[in-house]
């Protein structure tokens, strides 16, 4: 890794624990962020951000149920959003179907 002042380098790994310690030592990697499965509040915030709509109480309950029954990633939510026509109900329906698989 070459020093590049003023630049941001993003590295991803499915198994960061398998990376060579010399690669991820302090000074080379400034910040490590683990992106895991969605929790209820971040899911609701992501849905509202993507759709630019406020969720109803019923929709929030459905979203909480999805979190309880499956492991959703932000990428899966975004993927379902693309096909949901920017509609919260359609997005929740698509997410529900993907959780059943």
Query: Across the 101 residues of the chain, what is the mean pLDDT of every consecutive 10-residue run?
Result: 75 89 86 88 94 95 90 88 84 85 65
Q: Residue 5: CB partners within 8 Å, gap ≥ 6?
A: none
Predicted confidence at residue 101, as pLDDT, reads 65
Q: What is the pTM assigned to this prediction? A: 0.69
Extents of the domains making up the chain: 40-100
Predicted confidence at residue 1, as pLDDT, reads 56
| Residue 1 DSSP label | -
Tokens of 76: 């899966």
Predicted confidence at residue 28, as pLDDT, reads 81
DSSP-assigned letters across all residues of 49-84: HHHTSPPPHHHHHHHHHHHHHS---HHHHHHHHHTT
């Amino acid at each position: 890794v070459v020093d590049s002042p003023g630049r941001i380098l993003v590295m991803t790994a499915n198994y960061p624990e398998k990376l060579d310690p010399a690669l991820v030592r302090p000074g080379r990697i400034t910040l490590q962020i683990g992106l895991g499965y969605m929790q209820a509040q971040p899911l609701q915030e992501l849905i509202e951000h993507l759709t630019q709509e406020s969720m109803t109480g019923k929709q929030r309950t459905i979203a909480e149920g999805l979190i309880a029954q499956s492991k959703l990633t932000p990428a899966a939510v975004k993927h379902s959003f693309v096909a949901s026509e920017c509609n919260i109900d359609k997005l929740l329906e698509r997410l529900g179907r993907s959780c059943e698989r």
